[in-house]
Amino acid sequence: MKEYNPDAIRNIALIGHGGSGKTTISELLLFTAGEVNRIGKIEEGSTTSDFNSNEIERQISIAASPLHLEWNGTKINILDTPGFPDFVGQVISSLHVADVAVSVIKSAEGIEVGTELTWEYVRKNNLPAAVLINKADNEHSKFFETVQVAKKRLSPDITVVSFPLKEGLNFTTVIDLVKMKAVTYGDSGSKKITEEEIPADLKEQAGKLREELIEKVAESDEELMNKFFEEGVLSEDEILKGLKTSILKGGLIPALAFSAAKGVGANTFLDFASKFFPAPSERNQLDAKLKDGGNSVQIKCDPNGEPILFIFKSLSEQHVGELSIFKVFSGTLAPGMDLVNTHKEKTERLGQIFVLNGRNRKEITKLGAGDIGAVVKLKDSHTGDTLCSKNFTVLVPEIHYPEPVIRFAVKPKAKGDEDKISAALHTAHEEEPSLIAKYDPEIAQTIVSGQGELQLNLAVKLLKDRYGVEVDLAEPRIPYRETIKGRCDDSEYKHKKQSGGRGQYGHVHLKLEPMPRGGGYEFANAIVGGVVPGRFVPAVEKGLKDVLVKGILTGSKVVDVKVTLFDGTYHAVDSDEVSFKIAASQAFKKGFMDAKPVILEPIYDITVKIPEEYMGDVMGDISSRRGKIQGMDSESPFQIIKAKVPLAELHKYSTQLRSLTSGRGMFSMLFSHYEEVPKEVETKIIEEYQKHKVEEAE
C-alpha cells in the first residue's frame, strides 16, 4: 500500500444518534471507493464495521471501527462510532484523533438526543465539522426543516452545500452547490452517476443557497469579505480556497443531503471531503508536554519529525492478542522500530503494522504522520499511552472520559474465579475505558461502573464468552459511615479471665466525644500516675482502630470521633496487650451506643439535562429518591436540574431517567459529602444488616 503525505489524509469520525445510519454510510463509502465489492447489511450481520458477535446479534455498533479508503488520490480514514449513549467513550476517543466530525442526522426525525450528546464533544474538542442529513429518501423527509432545527440546536454556522432535487421515495438526485450541477445516482450498488444542469424550476433556489454559501465563505477571511461586499462576487478559486479555510476555522459547517439505503450522495460527499475537509497537517499543531519537566511543546504533523504515536483504542482478539489502534502525530513508523512508552517508561518494539477495515487487516511497511494504523502484541502499552522516540519524549494530551453513572457489584457464581474475573475486567477496561472495575475494600465487593446497563451487561457476557467465568451483577453495598452526636464521659470495661494458670486482665475508662464532620478520628492518652502502664497504651489504640473499621450499627467505618483513655487498672501478672485490646474495643462499643449514634450516607451532586416537557416527571422522581433540588437552569432547548441525592437512591437511575424521557435525558453524578440518614431509613438499614449477618452465619 502506498504512503500518503499528511496533506493527502483526511481523518473523519462519523457521530450521531443510534440508528441514524452511520454504519450503512460507512459501508456505502467503502463500496463506492472500491474497498469492498458488495454493500454489507446490518440485518445480515455482514457490514465491515459491525463485526463482533454482540454487534451482529443486537444490530447496533458497540465499538468504534477504523476504516479507510482512497478517493481522488486522498486517503480517507473513517471512524464509525456507536450512537448508543452507553458507548459514548468510543465517540470521545475517536474525536480525540479525528480532524473532522461528521454528524449524521435523520432527515425525518431531525435532532435527537444522541445528536446533541455527541455534538457537545465536538464543541469541547473545537473540531471542524460537517452534517450529513441522511434518509432523505424517507417518505416523511423534511431536509430544509431539519437544517433549520440543526442551526438552532447545534450551530448557526451549518450551511447547505447539497440538497435533494426531490426528497422522499423518489430521492435520486442531489443539487451540488459547489459544482452547481444536478448529480443523479443510479440504483444502489450500480455506482452509476450522471451530472447535468440544474433544472430550470430549481435554479432560483439553488442560486439563493449558493449565495448564502459564498457569503458564509467570505466571512472566514477579511480580504474575501471586503471583496465580496465591494464587488458582490468571488472568483471560483476564491470560493474553493475560502470554503476549505472556513471549514478549518469552524466558521462554516457544511450540510449535505444523503441516502445510505439508496446510495445517493456518496460521490458528492467523497468529492467534498477529499477537496475541502482539513488534512491533519492543516490543523493547529498538537500541544503536548515534555516528559521531563512537563513544559508544553508543539508537535508539527511532519513525516520527517521524531516518531510520536498515541493509542486511542484497543481491541483484544482471541487468536491475535491485543491490537493497539493509534494515530501517528509525527514522524514515520516502520516495523522493528523501538519506541518509549512515556507513561510507563518502558521500551516497545513495533511488530507488524496494519491499516484496518473492520476486522480486515492489511500489513504495511511504513505509516506516516497524520495517519491511523494498528500494531499487535505490545507488551506494556494500552489505550491512552504515548509512544515516541527516546530522543524526544513527550506526552500527548490524555482522553477525558465522563464519570460513571451506573454501578453494580460483581458476584462470582463459582468460588476461586476471582483472579480470572479481575484479569478479564482489566481487558474489558482496555477495550472500553469508560468501563471501570475496582475492588472496594470498604464494602468488600468488586464494583463495575460505566455509562449504562447495556454496557455492563455486555462486560458480563464478555467474561463468560471469552474467559469462561460467570458472574451476577447485584446492587452494591453502600459505604455508610457511623458516628456519634452526643458524648459519653465514662465508658468502662474490665476484661477478666481466669482459667487455670496465667489469666487475662485489662481494664479501661474511655471518654467519647463527636468531632466536626470530616474531622476523622483522634486518640488522646490522659493516663496519670501509670494506672495503665505505657506499654499497654498502643494495645488500647489497636483495639479502638479494629472496632472503628468494623463498625457497630451496620458494620461500616466509624468516623469523626475523639476517644480519650483517662483511667483504668492493670494486674502485674495477668495483664497483657491482648487483654487491653479487648477491653478497649468493648468499652468503645458500649460508649458508642450511649453517645447518640447515627448512620451517615454518601450524598451525590447530580446534574440532569432534559427536554422541558419532562420536567414534572423527572423532578417528581428525584423527590421520591429523597433528593433535594438545588437549582434549575435553561440551556435551550434543555432544562438543567441540579440536585443532591443519596447514593442509596441512585441505583439504576440512568435506566429510569432514559425510561422517563424516551431516551432523551442525560445526567452526571459526583460525590458531594456525607449526611445523617433519616431515622426511618436508619432503622431499615440496621434491620437489613442484622438479617445479612444471620444469613452469612448460616
66 touches 374 (CB < 8 A): yes
Residues, the chain: 698
Q: Which of 326, 313, 235, 250 is nearest to 282 (CA)?
A: 250
Res 5: pLDDT: 95
- For residue 579, what pLDDT band results from cuts at 50, 70 and 90? very high
Q: Which of 246, 10, 19, 26 is nearest to 115 (CA)?
A: 19
Res 697: pLDDT: 64
377 touches 70 (CB < 8 A): no
C-alpha distances out from residue 343 to 82, 192, 290, 381, 394, Å: 28, 51, 12, 9, 9
Bridge partner list, 411: 472
Q: Are strands 481-484 and 557-558 parallel, antiparallel or unpaired?
A: parallel
DSSP state of 397: P
Sign of CA dihedral 5, 6, 7, 10: positive
CB atoms within 10 A of CB 41: 13
**Where are the alpha helices (H) located in 435-499, listed in sequence order?**
453-467
**Is residue 10's pLDDT more than 80?**
yes
- Mean per-residue pLDDT for 345-371? 94
C-alpha distances out from residue 660 to 489, 617, 631, 634, 650, Å: 52, 7, 20, 19, 15
CB atoms within 10 A of CB 101: 27
Q: Are strands 488-497 and 504-514 parallel, antiparallel or unpaired?
A: antiparallel
CA angle 320, 324, 327 (to 5 degrees): 145
Helix (H) or strand (E) holding 226: helix 222-231
584 touches 525 (CB < 8 A): no
Fold of 6-282: Rossmann fold (3.40.50)
674 touches 601 (CB < 8 A): yes
In angstroms, the CA 290 to CA 417 distance is 42
Query: Mind listing the pLDDT tens digit for each residue in 241-269?
Result: 899 999 999 999 999 999 999 999 999 99
Sign of CA dihedral 607, 124, 74, 157: positive
427: which 3 cell numbers? 481487558
448 touches 437 (CB < 8 A): yes
Which position has the grid cell 463482533? 52
In angstroms, the CA 399 to CA 267 distance is 33
Query: Mind listing the pLDDT tens digit for each residue in 144-175?
Result: 999 999 999 999 999 999 999 999 999 999 99
- For residue 1, what pLDDT band results from cuts at 50, 70 and 90? low
7 touches 279 (CB < 8 A): yes
Helix (H) or strand (E) holding 200: helix 200-219
Query: Mind listing the pLDDT tens digit for each residue in 270-327?
Result: 999 999 999 999 998 999 999 888 889 999 999 999 999 999 999 877 666 789 999 9
C-alpha distances out from residue 638 to 155, 451, 475, Å: 15, 20, 31
- For residue 631, what pLDDT band results from cuts at 50, 70 and 90? very high
The answer to whether the bond into 533 is cis (omega within 30° of 0) is no
Query: Mind listing the pLDDT tens digit for each residue in 66-98?
Result: 999 999 999 999 999 999 989 999 999 999 999
597: which 3 cell numbers? 449514634
In angstroms, the CA 282 to CA 246 distance is 12
Half-sphere exposure of 47 (CA within 13 A, CB side): 26
Domain 599-681 has CATH 3.30.70.240: yes
Fold of 409-473: Alpha-Beta Plaits (3.30.70)
Single-letter amino acid code for the residue at 179 = K
Q: Where are the domains of the chain?
A: 6-282, 286-395, 409-473, 482-595, 599-681
Q: Are strands 74-80 and 9-15 parallel, antiparallel or unpaired?
A: parallel
- For residue 626, what pLDDT band results from cuts at 50, 70 and 90? very high
Q: How far apart are the first and last CA of the chain?
A: 67
Bridge partner list, 160: 255
Single-letter amino acid code for the residue at 202 = L
Rounded to the nearest integer, the mean pLDDT of the chain is: 92
CA angle 425, 427, 429 (to 5 degrees): 70
Which position has the grid cell 463498625? 551
Confirm whether 409-473 and 599-681 share one CATH topology.
yes
Which position has the grid cell 493509542? 311
295 touches 36 (CB < 8 A): no
Res 237: pLDDT: 87
Which position has the grid cell 488520490? 73
490: which 3 cell numbers? 465514662
CATH assignment of 482-595?
3.30.230.10
Sheet with 394-395: strands ordered across? 296-299, 286-290, 394-395
DSSP 181-193: EEEEE-STTS--E
151: which 3 cell numbers? 442551526
- Mean per-residue pLDDT for 226-231? 78
DSSP state of 264: B
Q: Choose between 416 and 175: higher pLDDT.
A: 175
Fold of 286-395: Elongation Factor Tu (Ef-tu); domain 3 (2.40.30)
